[in-house]
Structure 1
């Protein structure tokens, strides 16, 4: 069995500069202020409309992200709309094959829940979880050996199973997702993914997300 931590990767190829120019051009149609477009005007304009709550304008751009998380977290993520999702399928992926290392991969629970493995209590919880993952792997491969298809054998796989998904949202939907999922009330493992995304987005697309990081 392989253990991994969650991971994120932006796979959109639209540059931040092009996004700024496009959103400013579209947004200024509302005010008929196209004559005010000049070098360096976009970020100030966009920050202003976001501050005023005029976020419909930023729906004209989107970002695609590849997320590696566990199946349980993915079930929470796909509840968000408007979005497009493509996800690793346990119906068709046979984890007994060489390309998967002939193992299942699980997302390490200690990361999202911030277990202190030097603590006796956390260590005991972690060991119980680890044993459950190992048993799930054994049961999965036993079913495969008995002739079960991947879609049959997946029934014994845990929520901690690693999954890869590509998620595309417009900028307004991303802001809503990040507001909700970086909240301290969010599931710790989902919050771990969302907080990493917010930090990355704030660095790469500051006009659209930096205010959320400051409020977080």
Structure 2
């Protein structure tokens, strides 16, 4: 937990899912210079005279150090060979604001929790609040979802209250609001459980989810909402990312994320891309 600009925030969590090793990157560099025999790694020396078998490839991917890569990265700035190493991270609890910043890094693979498919609980809470509950019912229900990077309850209640107001405005303008908010098989619950907001909410939650419900309602959420994602960088792109984002000039939330990613990145990669790491 950390406070910035008078608001308390939670920090993201990061796990390194997989890394491909630096051996392939050295092999690529040795291919450029036809210098396999100069490697301190025996498996790479042997590539000069034989095609690697499965056992050799396993050993290749377990290489921890490479003098050549270090020279190319820090003396000759030949960074293209770093593109042959890839790392994938699972990120939980960063914000949609950070997601916008991430999108500016062109060379990455990124898969993000979808608002098209994951907003049913919010909409169900709103429907229940309008049929026997009230605005506070909605706020209390959504507050329990822990869906914001901000952790101040008073501030988050303001956020959720704004979501209610936007949904309420929209519901009064759309004649068939329920049909776009709730699956057809669950519409009967609204009449059957009128005046019983908790029972209505539970029934909607247990029923079939409306497909793509976020298409109509994603406008209600802000950059403060948490997102989960998996990102894969090649090592050259990761160098660019950490150089720019683990910097005092970076947006503070993406700086926190870059710092957490650095913590779980093996030292053999940091040695090639981050000074004094």
TM-score by length of 1: 0.74
Match of 2:103 in 1: 78
Which residue, out of 87, 99, 124, partners 1:63?
Answer: 87
Give per-residue Cα distances to partners, 1:105-153, cap 9 Å, x unaligned.
334336xxxxxxxxxxxxxxx5663232232454577679x52332222
Give the count of matched residue pairs: 188
Matched, 1:196 2:202: no
Please show how residues 35-74 of structure 1 align to structure 2 within 5 Å: 35-39=37-41, 42-51=65-74, 52-68=76-92, 69-74=94-99
Match of 1:119 in 2: none
Q: Is the 8 A contact 1:85 1:165 kept in 2?
A: yes
Cα separation, 2, equivalents of 1:4 and 1:85: 22
Matched, 1:209 2:270: yes
Match of 1:85, SS state, is: strand
Cα separation, 2, equivalents of 1:86 and 1:71: 13
Question: Considering only aligned residues, what root-mean-square deviation do their CA atoms show, in Å?
Answer: 2.9
What is the CA-CA distance between 1:79 and the residue it aligns to?
1.4
TM-score by length of 2: 0.59
What is the CA-CA distance between 1:37 and the residue it aligns to?
2.4
Q: Is the 8 A contact 2:15 2:91 kept in 1?
A: yes
Unmatched segments (≥5 aa) in structure 1: 111-125
Match of 2:137 in 1: none
Cα separation, 2, equivalents of 1:82 and 1:58: 13
Match of 1:160 in 2: 224
Matched, 1:108 2:144: no
Matched, 1:182 2:246: yes
